Chains A and B, each alone.
Chain A
Amino acid sequence: MNLPLSAQLINLMAALLLLIAFAMLSQRRILSLIYLFAWQGAVLSANTLIVAWSTGQPHLYYSALITLALKVIVLPWLLHRLIVRLDIERDVETMINIPITMLIGIALVIFAFNLALPIAQWAQTITRSTLGIAIASVLLSFLMMITRRKAVPQVIGFLAMENGLFFAATSTTYGMPMVVELGIALDVLVGTFIFGIFFFQIRETFDSLDISNLEKLKED
């Protein structure tokens, strides 16, 4: 395979992203989840940087910067403070057994790749093969949200999904227009704040962040 270096780098990043996604899927401890999330952000911004450099699109630098600021620093910091304030750093949660989750994850990855295949053949970007990975990571974080019992990990899963989307945006198309990027970034930020508010409200109402408290509204 004789791809340009940039493309190889991007593919590497993609692989890393997928790896982290799997790691998150299997991670029990909240604190390490947050770290993993930060790492994912880092990979993302690096990836953006590479794309920007290789295609020479100025606005991608900004978006790389935003990503760095938001997803590597601000959000993890916020989450960290949150769980410290709620002192649940040590929280370990029980999930349905990991091997099965893993297997499902792998199945998803295969599915995603097959899904992306025709498109990848049609596309001409140097980074076409990453679409599959993007889809895969989105689906994986979806799976993660499904498997989590506690509020914070679910939110992290949500943000991870956002990362996957962002990755798709940057690597398959060289980034969305600036307005949209900013809008999305803003939404994510506000969203996280609101999540924060919720954590406290839920906490003070149910004195735990276990979502199994939130199963009262139903058809009986």
Chain B
Amino acid sequence: MPWFDFIPLNIVIGIILLWIALGVAGLIAPSNLQYVTRALLPLGAAAGVALAATAFAAMTQDAAVCVLPLGLPDLPFHLRIDALSAFFLALLGLASAGVSLFYAGYLRAGEDNSPGLTCLQYHLFLASMAAIFVADDGYLFMVAWESMALSSYFLVTSNHRDATTRSAGFLYLLIAHVGAIGILLCFGVLQAGSGDYTFATMRAVEPASAGWMTVAYLLALFGFGAKAGLLPLHAWLPEAHPAAPSPVSALMSGVMLKTAIYGLLRVTFDLLNTQIWWWGVLTLALGLVTALFGVLFAAVQTDMKRLLAYSSIENIGIVLIGIGLAITFRAFDMHALAALALVAALYHCLNHAFFKCLLFLVTGSVLHATNERSLGRLGGLIHSMPVVAWLALIGTLAIAGLPPLNGFVSEWLLLQAFLLTPGLPNSYLNMLVPVAAAALALTFALSGYVMVKFYGVIFLGQPREEKLKAAHDAGGFERLGLLWLAVGCVLLGVLPVPIILQLGTVTSQLLGASIGDSVVASGWLFITPIAPERASYSPLIFLVVIAAVVLLVFLLVRAVYHGRVRRGAAWDCGFPLQTSRMQDTAEGFGQPIKRIFEMFFRIERHEPTPFDSAPYYKSRTEDRLWYWLYLPVARLAERLSGWVGVLQRGRIHIYLIYSFATLILLLAFAR
């Protein structure tokens, strides 16, 4: 068998098959919880780790291909592993390992579907994502892509008795399907009439003209954007993520969105040989809008999972900004800078996978402990579930982009890329890009705001409900999963240099350039994208200094003075009748944002007047795009189907007239 001579690819295939096997194994004893959670899911996690290791190794080796005797007769399954796909495989493996571990502790009997079925759908989801990353022809890619959409759809709707869940699932699958159609068309353009849908051919041939290339790129942007939650195709995201069980939301947000990024990169830099600069500008602009939109809506959410979903939209926007910069630089042959921007984007993908999975899993633990999703009924959980709280703190700081954690690294790299734009030969861009940088900075700052709200309202303060005091901390497997991801966040934050070096292989594959050598120039301790005197950052020193100072100060204070502590009632300016209702709610945190950025939202507010006998406050914040884009399309479809209904009015004479007219017309036409 010819495909057994190159190791990594075979291992990847093996792991894909293993995942499928684990899923099917779940059906053997569908209702046996122990069997699923203690055997299958941990095995899946182990497979994830193995996948990550393999892929990490494969990144430095050169691309390998193989052909499986499956698929269409004249288009068998082509598989290929290169630096790009290996990177995303590693991401999948690392994130899924944590999520699977968590799921082993999270899964309960009698909830939604039977454990076995869930196990099947979950592992098929993993397998299809892995298959996407190694697919090397249009057909396999589409098969894997849609299988991913389907399996995740079933996971999303696993609590299908709830009507909102159903509608969310439907919206999700619909948009996914529309996007898939766009991707299919994109491949159709890329194969440029050769009729061969292997990626190898698409690399070789070029669309006829720049116009067709642009069409291909736009189709890809549309198709993959629909999956990534790019504006204005984001509508499914804040619906589907909250509806799904938390580990699934984690995987969807942390990894599935990245498949779209992968696809976009694959098409833009690999299948298309040349890029046009304004593609980059377009992507950059869209990314900015998406990021700002996401973070603003995240700031006004009152449901913790919706909040995280919107924050995912924001992060995807940031990644797209990086890609846009990379395209622009690339189009102007500034390869080193393109590499820098791309590294920033990829690094952010990795980071987002970690901290977003972590936070979604945290919401899962909170959900199981309290049965509450609404921020308005949470609070003070740091006392009842300290482990989760402290791990969640890491995720929160990371996603808020604070040094020395991982979120900051990618932000830092991205801002560096922006600062180095003045080299661009187009004066307009020179003027505009800094403004974009400003908007990006605003996004970062806002995400800090959002995350303080998220963490503070859930874990800090007084419990807003009595029952919260009884909340229990997460179990062993859950903690393990959370820990895995949290450690990942810290390591990625503190030791970025090796990762960046590894990413060099990806950039040199896609752009023929890498920032690796300039990074190693000043040792593993410092990131120096271009040169030490231009910019450098060393999270480790950063961390060490702060830790040292904290320790020193602590000891000094103890030594010189004392460590005495007394407990008393809260001071609060001496106000004695303090209740938990008096703290700021999530609503309250959203209020300034609503007020400052009013034009972004569609707000229905009822505010009490001083004269109300029964005063109440009510406010619904909605997405304008829903009313501007989605509803009109739906209405149009309805109207059309109303029109065709006229064709069938039940009168046989009319039907006969149809046949008659058809006959006459054709006769007239045929002679």
Q: Chain A: residues with CB nearer than 8 A to chain B?
A: 111, 115, 118, 139, 142-143, 145-147, 149, 211, 214-220
Question: How many contacting A-B pairs (Cβ < 8 A)?
Answer: 39
Knowing A146-B657, A146-B660 touch, does A115 contact B667 (C-beta < 8 A)? yes
B646-671, CB under 8 A of A: which get 1 and which 0?
A: 11111111001100100110011001
Residues of B within 8 A of A145 (CB): 656
Knowing A215-B650, A218-B649, A218-B650 touch, does A146 contact B667 (C-beta < 8 A)? no
What is the CB-to-nearest-CB distance from A59 to chain B, in angstroms, rounded to a whole number? 31
Interface assignment of B610: CB less than 8 Å from any CB of chain A: no
A145 and B667 alpha carbons, distance in the complex (Å): 20
Interface assignment of B211: CB less than 8 Å from any CB of chain A: no
A142 and B660 alpha carbons, distance in the complex (Å): 7
B671 x A115 contact (CB < 8 A): yes
Interface assignment of B645: CB less than 8 Å from any CB of chain A: yes
Knowing A115-B667, A115-B671, A142-B660 touch, does A218 contact B653 (C-beta < 8 A)? no
B650 x A146 contact (CB < 8 A): no
7 A-B pairs with the lowest CB-CB distances in the bound complex, closest first: A218-B650, A219-B645, A215-B650, A219-B648, A146-B656, A218-B649, A215-B651
Give B656's nearest chain A residue, CB to CB: A146
What is the CB-to-nearest-CB distance from A178 to chain B, in angstroms, rounded to a whole number? 29
Residues of B within 8 A of A219 (CB): 645-650
A145 and B651 alpha carbons, distance in the complex (Å): 13
Per DSSP, chain A at the interface is helix
What is the CB-to-nearest-CB distance from A152 to chain B, in angstroms, rounded to a whole number? 14
Residues of A within 8 A of B651 (CB): 215, 218
Most buried by A among B647, B649, B652, B653: B653
A218 and B647 alpha carbons, distance in the complex (Å): 9
A214 x B656 contact (CB < 8 A): no
What is the CB-to-nearest-CB distance from B243 to chain A, in angstroms, rounded to a whole number? 34
B656 x A218 contact (CB < 8 A): no
Knowing A111-B664, A219-B645, A219-B648 touch, does A146 contact B653 (C-beta < 8 A)? yes
Give B642's nearest chain A residue, CB to CB: A219
Residues of A within 8 A of B660 (CB): 139, 142-143, 146
Q: Chain B: residues with CB nearer than 8 A to chain A?
A: 645-653, 656-657, 660, 663-664, 667-668, 671
Residues of B within 8 A of A146 (CB): 653, 656-657, 660
A214 x B652 contact (CB < 8 A): yes
A145 and B663 alpha carbons, distance in the complex (Å): 15
A218 in complex: contacting residue of B648, B657, B663, CB < 8 Å: B648
Residues of A within 8 A of B646 (CB): 219
A146 and B651 alpha carbons, distance in the complex (Å): 10
What is the CB-to-nearest-CB distance from A162 to chain B, in angstroms, rounded to a whole number? 16
What is the CB-to-nearest-CB distance from A200 to chain B, in angstroms, rounded to a whole number? 19
A214 and B648 alpha carbons, distance in the complex (Å): 13
A118 in complex: contacting residue of B647, B650, B652, B671, CB < 8 Å: B671
A217 and B651 alpha carbons, distance in the complex (Å): 9
Q: List 27 A-B contacts (CB under 8 A).
A: A111-B664, A111-B667, A111-B668, A115-B667, A118-B671, A139-B660, A139-B664, A142-B656, A143-B660, A145-B656, A146-B653, A146-B656, A146-B657, A146-B660, A211-B653, A215-B649, A215-B650, A215-B651, A216-B650, A217-B650, A218-B649, A218-B651, A219-B645, A219-B646, A219-B648, A219-B649, A219-B650
What is the CB-to-nearest-CB distance from A43 to chain B, in angstroms, rounded to a whole number? 24
A180 and B94 alpha carbons, distance in the complex (Å): 73
A211 and B652 alpha carbons, distance in the complex (Å): 8
Give B664's nearest chain A residue, CB to CB: A111
Residues of A within 8 A of B671 (CB): 115, 118
Residues of A within 8 A of B647 (CB): 219
15 further interface pairs, Cβ-Cβ under 8 Å (given A146-B656, A216-B650): A118-B671, A139-B660, A139-B664, A142-B663, A146-B657, A149-B653, A215-B651, A218-B648, A218-B649, A218-B650, A219-B645, A219-B646, A219-B647, A219-B649, A219-B650
Give B641's nearest chain A residue, CB to CB: A219
Most buried by B among A147, A216, A218: A218
What is the CB-to-nearest-CB distance from A72 to chain B, in angstroms, rounded to a whole number? 27
A174 and B142 alpha carbons, distance in the complex (Å): 58
A147 and B660 alpha carbons, distance in the complex (Å): 12
A111 and B665 alpha carbons, distance in the complex (Å): 11
A111 and B671 alpha carbons, distance in the complex (Å): 12
A218 and B664 alpha carbons, distance in the complex (Å): 25
A215 and B653 alpha carbons, distance in the complex (Å): 10
A122 and B258 alpha carbons, distance in the complex (Å): 69
Residues of A within 8 A of B667 (CB): 111, 115
Give A96's nearest chain B residue, CB to CB: B653
Residues of A within 8 A of B653 (CB): 146-147, 149, 211
A145 and B660 alpha carbons, distance in the complex (Å): 10
A142 and B647 alpha carbons, distance in the complex (Å): 20
Most buried by A among B647, B652, B663: B652
Give A220's nearest chain B residue, CB to CB: B645
Give B647's nearest chain A residue, CB to CB: A219
A216 and B663 alpha carbons, distance in the complex (Å): 26
What is the CB-to-nearest-CB distance from A111 to chain B, in angstroms, rounded to a whole number? 7
What is the CB-to-nearest-CB distance from B331 to chain A, in angstroms, rounded to a whole number? 53
A70 and B651 alpha carbons, distance in the complex (Å): 31
A218 and B646 alpha carbons, distance in the complex (Å): 9
Residues of B within 8 A of A111 (CB): 664, 667-668
What is the CB-to-nearest-CB distance from B183 to chain A, in angstroms, rounded to a whole number? 34
What is the CB-to-nearest-CB distance from A134 to chain B, in angstroms, rounded to a whole number? 14
A142 and B667 alpha carbons, distance in the complex (Å): 15
Residues of B within 8 A of A118 (CB): 671
A149 and B656 alpha carbons, distance in the complex (Å): 12
Residues of A within 8 A of B649 (CB): 215, 218-219
Give A148's nearest chain B residue, CB to CB: B653
What is the CB-to-nearest-CB distance from A115 to chain B, in angstroms, rounded to a whole number? 6
A142 and B221 alpha carbons, distance in the complex (Å): 54
What is the CB-to-nearest-CB distance from A106 to chain B, in angstroms, rounded to a whole number? 14
A142 and B663 alpha carbons, distance in the complex (Å): 11
Residues of A within 8 A of B663 (CB): 142
What is the CB-to-nearest-CB distance from B661 to chain A, in angstroms, rounded to a whole number? 10
What is the CB-to-nearest-CB distance from A70 to chain B, in angstroms, rounded to a whole number? 25
A158 and B183 alpha carbons, distance in the complex (Å): 51
Residues of B within 8 A of A149 (CB): 653
